[in-house]
Structure 1
Amino acid sequence: MKKAALRKEFLQKRKEADERWLIEKNALIAQNLEKFVLINHFKTLHTFLPQLGSREIHTSYIIESFRISFPTMRIAAPYIVPGTREMEHFLITPFTHLVINQWRIPEPDPVTSEKIRPEEIDIVLVPLLAFDRKGYRLGYGGGYYDRFLPQTRPDCIKMGLSLFEEVNEIADIDAFDIPLDACITPERLYDFKSLKA
């Protein structure tokens, strides 16, 4: 299927999902991710923060649990530079002041937060609506992560998080689409790059 049709389908699936189902799936994704992180010893994890009311993966829950399980790991989140398609990246702590941007996405306040460089990041949790068997993801169409991911180190893990299992193929992949190294769903870890798992 092509991106437009898939985007419509998976937005609808997410919209129709039962609240209890969403809570269960989010918890399973967090558990599977924690197992992966436990054996890889990442120093700096970068995560998206979910758009308010969007029913995206509940990364706030992941952040809170990881602060307990991995107290020495640094956690960062993106800040969209106003008027651009670029992101900057800031550490988030229990004391970080979050601001809500025009898309209703919480972001670390760039005035009071500590900025980090993309090269410092060991694993990026990448937002998506769907992904295919080759590791290509269907995002939201803004291209922010397609610009950001090439700025990270070659060994930085690009990890998708998905409520749903893979689709067979995203038909209209282009040169700007960057494949994931792996994707975690409630059921399993999809490994596209022979990772330590």
Structure 2
Amino acid sequence: MAEYKGNKEFRKKIRQEILKQRRTIPDEDAYKAGLNIVKVLKEHPFFTSKKIVASYVSTGGEISTSPLNDYLLDAHDLILPFININVKGSMDFYSFKKGDPLIENRFHILEPENKKENLIRPDLIDAIVVPLVAFDNRGNRMGMGGGYYDRMLKKISAECLLIGIAYDFQLIDNVPTESWDMPLDEVITPTAHYIYNKKWP
């Protein structure tokens, strides 16, 4: 894909092109891609001990997080995002256990219940699996444009590992960045593992 400059129209064009392609991915292929992501994480040195890991529920042709979330439920402490509709761009993470309900929000995304006792402070999170629309070879990420993750990533500890998961076609030459954008430490695709900032011994 051609290199784009950092203005709103170019960002919009990138999103439209990639989301259009992503929506054509059959569910079976999205699930297989998710299995490949899990294979990498199971061998990842960072995850040899139990961690508090934030994930999400995939939608719209994204790589399926179902295999990933099953793995995290078994081997780690899984937490999931909840969008606060009362505060623009605000998102929190809540613990999620097997059998807990998921509720569809106004964006048709499944979320955990926002029970106060299940709220996880951002500084306690060991790793966050971050959704994305596009990424580049410097770890720059383009999201959906709501700014939810960019705001959250400014609250976490410096040791928290930020991992993006994406299809190979979501890699572009240059992601237009803004001052508030937070780069990723790693990106895992079905065929590759990109490491930009190593956060383990």
TM-score (norm 1): 0.88
Aligned to 1:188: 192
1:75 aligns with 2:78: yes
What percent of counterpart residues are identical? 27
Aligned to 2:65: 59
- Alpha-carbon distance in 2 for matches of 1:15, 1:95: 29
RMSD of the alignment, in Å?
A: 2.0
1:118 aligns with 2:122: yes
State how 1:137-176 maps to structure 2 within 5 Å: 137-165=141-169, 166-170=171-175, 172-176=176-180
3-state SS of 2:57 partner: coil
Residue pair 2:94, 2:119 contacting (<8 A) in 1 also: yes
Residue pair 1:26, 1:163 contacting (<8 A) in 2 also: no
State how 1:99-114 maps to structure 2 within 5 Å: 99-111=103-115, 114=118
3-state SS of 1:5 partner: helix
Report the Cα offset of residue 37 of structure 1: 5.9
- Alpha-carbon distance in 2 for matches of 1:157, 1:38: 9
- Alpha-carbon distance in 2 for matches of 1:18, 1:39: 30
Q: Which runs of 5+ in 1 are unaligned?
A: none
Give the letter for the 2:128 counterpart. Answer: V
Aligned to 1:93: 97
Give the letter for the 1:3 counterpart. Answer: R
Map Cα deviations across residues 146-184 of structure 1 (whole Å, 9 max, x no partner).
1000100001011100012521111x3110111001000
Residues 18/48 of structure 1: CA separation in 2 closer, same or farther (3 Å cut): closer
Aligned to 1:36: 44
3-state SS of 1:88 partner: strand
Give the letter for the 2:93 counterpart. Answer: H
3-state SS of 1:24 partner: helix
TM-score (norm 2): 0.87
Give the letter for the 1:109 counterpart. Answer: E
Q: Which runs of 5+ in 2 are unaligned?
A: 5-9
Give the letter for the 2:173 counterpart. Answer: N
Give the letter for the 1:47 counterpart. Answer: S
- Alpha-carbon distance in 1 for matches of 2:107, 2:86: 13
Report the Cα offset of residue 87 of structure 1: 1.0
Residue pair 1:47, 1:77 contacting (<8 A) in 2 also: yes
Residues 107/21 of structure 1: CA separation in 2 closer, same or farther (3 Å cut): closer
